[in-house]
């Protein structure tokens, strides 16, 4: 016969993998098999394991690594529900019968006075209280937000319902409308596109303060004045918005709120997009030119979401310095196959859409910098050929390293060859090693209007797209020729603005 031994109350075991808590094991009973030899006791422990733990297959033991699903910082699906409208009420008129004799006594006089205070409209009809409006759901662009990551933790938002008309019973002048629920305002980073789930575009919240009402709160129910039984049926037939409660009272119910599934997609808003292979020095460039402090490390994919930095205006422009202020976006490194989604490339490439000027950062000390540059251009072309029509400059980085410095002129030449000229003459080389594309039409020339023979877009090679506005050799780490690079970036921006103003 098996004897039951109750476990010590404190015995429960938690097991975890990484930060995920899988379950609790509570030993329930230990069976001592008395049929076995007295020296050998077989204890069997049956355990109650929480459902989540049971879901783990035998291959996924608690201490084996489980791949966590990737959480997109820039894409998320959320569900919002606006608040229901508050209910109205069924009210009886105070003292329906006309008084047979004039009011006598203080109490009756007061009753009559109250009745005469009932709210009426201009036509003399009674104004009955209504249920409160349900809370709307509004999504707005907030400068303080920079990613959509938090929506992975909380993806459901419910606005509050409107308040009911305070009481059932007799209509008095004290009765108020139900309280309207406040709108539920959900902040998102500027640049967020709001779409119906797998559906139509609702809004592009590009600037701080932009907002959209995504779910309208339900309207509050109206109130009814109780009618004699014989006319009740008629009233009910006329009103669709009525419901009976447990005590067979007719309620004027508030309208239900809306339930909406939305897709939020963030597209970074920046004037300048830094692109390049991992480890090219994009984050170092951002840190050297702005107050941004992105993670910098000697391994690829240090940057996993775009970092933004603000480039101050150029004081040499005098009062016009503000026109050269810009936002720089350091995008995660692109790799071959990025346009197919490799290394989350498609997500990163999407962020270039709102940039005006691209800065290709190339590690000039790498094994084959020209090939690296080609790879990035090819990925841009495959994702969206329009990106290659956009004005851009090339930054050949790490020229503090001898192998980079020595090959700077040849690299510049080779890169210039990988593009067609938008003007007739050859690009000029500045004294500091920067090569600039000639600009016979002045500052505001349309750089995207390539004079290359018009080819079908799908037949176009990288060579058929415009050359860079400038190629600058720099070391962003050591601060070599950084000013030269900034000058080129600002000149490029002015060109872009010229295009937009035109
Ligand atoms: N010698 C030298 N090293 C540099 C220079 N610029 C960046 N580096 C180094 O290159 C490495 C990569 O720099 P990051 O700025 O993280 O490169 P990234 O392109 O942002 O890399 P991802 O985040 O992977 O896209 C770091 O160790 C930097 O210190 C430079 O001008 N000279």
The residue among 20, 39, 42, 23 whose CA lies nearest residue 31 is: 42
Q: What is the pLDDT of residue 344?
A: 56
Per-residue pLDDT band for 66 (boundaries 50, 70, 90) equals low
For ligand 1, pick from 275, 276, 279 the residue to mutate: most ligand atoms within 8 Å of CB: 279
- Higher model confidence: residue 259 or residue 423? 259
- The pLDDT tens digits for 209-266 are 999 999 999 988 887 776 666 555 655 555 545 555 555 555 678 889 999 999 998 8
Give dist(CA 101, CA 123) in Å, integer. Answer: 28
**Mean pLDDT across the chain:** 71
476-487 average pLDDT score: 90
How far away, in angstroms, is 496 Cα from ligand 1 center? 28
Q: What is the pLDDT of residue 432?
A: 40
Q: Which are the contacts of 454, defined by CB distance < 8 A and separation ≥ 6?
A: none
Q: Whose CA is nearest to atom 2 of ligand 1?
A: 398
- Higher model confidence: residue 206 or residue 53? 206
Residues with CB under 6 A from ligand 1: 276, 278-284, 296-298, 300-303, 332-333, 397-398, 400-401, 475-478
Percent of the chain clearing pLDDT 90 (strictly above): 19
How far away, in angstroms, is 363 Cα from ligand 1 center? 8
Pairing mode of beta strands 272-275, 326-330: parallel
pLDDT tops 90 at residue 423: no
- The pLDDT tens digits for 169-219 are 666 666 778 899 999 999 998 888 899 887 788 998 988 899 999 999 998
For ligand 1, pick from 284, 396, 482 the residue to mutate: most ligand atoms within 8 Å of CB: 284
DSSP 325: -
pLDDT tops 60 at residue 476: yes
Give dist(CA 385, CA 449) in Å, integer. Answer: 14
DSSP for 229-296, please give it: HHHHHHHHHH-SSEEE-TTS-EEEPPPP--EEEEEEEE----SEEEE-STTSSHHHHHHHHSS-----
Distance between the two ends of the chain, CA-based, in angstroms?
95
Q: Whose CA is nearest to atom 9 of ligand 1?
A: 281
How far away, in angstroms, is 302 Cα from ligand 1 center? 9
Q: What is the pLDDT of residue 466?
A: 87
**Helix segments in 337-481, DSSP class H:** 345-350, 369-383, 386-389, 402-406, 408-417
Q: Is the ipTM of this complex over 0.85?
A: yes
For ligand 1, what atom is nearest to the CA of residue 332? 25
Q: Whose CA is nearest to atom 7 of ligand 1?
A: 281
DSSP 67: P
Give dist(CA 386, CA 468) in Å, integer. Answer: 15
Q: What is the pLDDT of residue 166?
A: 72
Domains of the chain: 3-55 (no CATH), 75-266 (2.70.210.12), 272-501 (3.40.50.300)
DSSP for 386-420, please give it: HHHHS-EEEEEE-TTSHHHHHTHHHHHHHHHHSSB
pLDDT tops 80 at residue 36: no
Q: Which are the contacts of 468, defined by CB distance < 8 A and separation ≥ 6?
A: 360, 392, 393, 394, 415, 416, 419, 437
Token output for 83: 């608040």
Give dist(CA 275, CA 348) in Å, integer. Answer: 10
Strand, helix or coil at 29?
strand
pLDDT tops 70 at residue 57: no
Strand, helix or coil at 301?
coil
């Amino acid at each position: 016969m098996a004897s039951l031994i109750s476990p010590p109350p404190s015995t429960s075991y938690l097991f975890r993998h990484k930060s995920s808590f899988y379950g609790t094991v509570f030993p329930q009973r230990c069976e001592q098999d008395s049929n076995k030899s007295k020296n050998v006791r077989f204890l069997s422990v049956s355990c109650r394991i929480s459902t989540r733990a049971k879901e783990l297959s035998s291959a996924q033991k608690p201490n084996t690594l489980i791949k966590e699903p990737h959480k997109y910082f820039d894409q998320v699906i959320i569900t919002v529900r606006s608040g229901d409208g508050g209910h109205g009420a069924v009210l009886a008129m105070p003292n329906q019968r006309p008084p047979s004799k004039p009011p006598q006594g203080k109490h009756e006089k007061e009753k009559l006075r109250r009745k005469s205070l009932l709210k009426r409209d201009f036509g003399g009809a009674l104004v009955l209280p209504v249920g409160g409006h349900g809370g709307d759901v509004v999504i707005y662009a907030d400068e303080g937000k920079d990613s959509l990551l938090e929506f992975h933790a909380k993806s459901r938002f419910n606005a509050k319902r409107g308040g009911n008309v305070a009481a059932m019973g007799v209509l008095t002048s004290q009765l108020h409308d139900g309280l309207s629920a406040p709108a539920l305002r959900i902040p998102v980073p500027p640049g967020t596109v709001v779409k119906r789930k797998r559906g139509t575009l609702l809004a592009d919240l590009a600037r701080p303060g932009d907002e959209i009402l995504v779910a309208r709160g339900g309207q509050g129910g109206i109130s009814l004045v109780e009618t004699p039984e014989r006319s009740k049926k008629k009233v009910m037939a006329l009103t669709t918005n009525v419901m009976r409660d447990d005590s067979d009272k007719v309620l004027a119910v508030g309208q239900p709120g809306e339930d909406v599934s939305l897709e939020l997609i963030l597209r970074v808003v920046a004037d300048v997009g830094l692109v390049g292979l991992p480890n090219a020095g994009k984050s170092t460039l951002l840190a050297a030119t702005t107050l941004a402090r992105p993670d910098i490390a000697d391994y690829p994919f240090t940057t996993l979401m775009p970092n933004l930095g603000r480039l101050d205006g150029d004081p040499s422009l005098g009062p016009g310095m503000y026109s050269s202020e810009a936002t720089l976006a350091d995008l995660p490194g692109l790799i071959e196959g990025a346009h197919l989604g490799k290394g989350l490339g498609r997500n990163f490439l999407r962020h270039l859409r709102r940039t005006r000027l691209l800065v290709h950062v190339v590690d000039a000390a790498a094994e084959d910098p020209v090939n690296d540059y080609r790879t990035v251009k090819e990925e841009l072309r495959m994702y969206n050929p329009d990106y290659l029509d956009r004005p851009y400059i090339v930054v050949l980085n790490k020229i503090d390293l001898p192998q980079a410095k020595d090959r700077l002129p040849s690299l510049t030449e080779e890169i210039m060859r990988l593009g067609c000229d938008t003007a007739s003459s050859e690009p000029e080389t500045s004294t500091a090693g920067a090569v600039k594309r000639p600009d016979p039409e002045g500052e505001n020339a349309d750089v995207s209007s390539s004079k290359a023979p018009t080819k079908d877009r799908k037949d176009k090679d990288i060579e058929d797209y415009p050359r860079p506005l400038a190629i600058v050799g720099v070391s962003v780490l050591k601060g070599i020729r950084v000013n030269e690079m900034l000058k080129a970036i600002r000149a490029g921006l002015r060109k872009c603005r010229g295009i937009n103003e035109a």
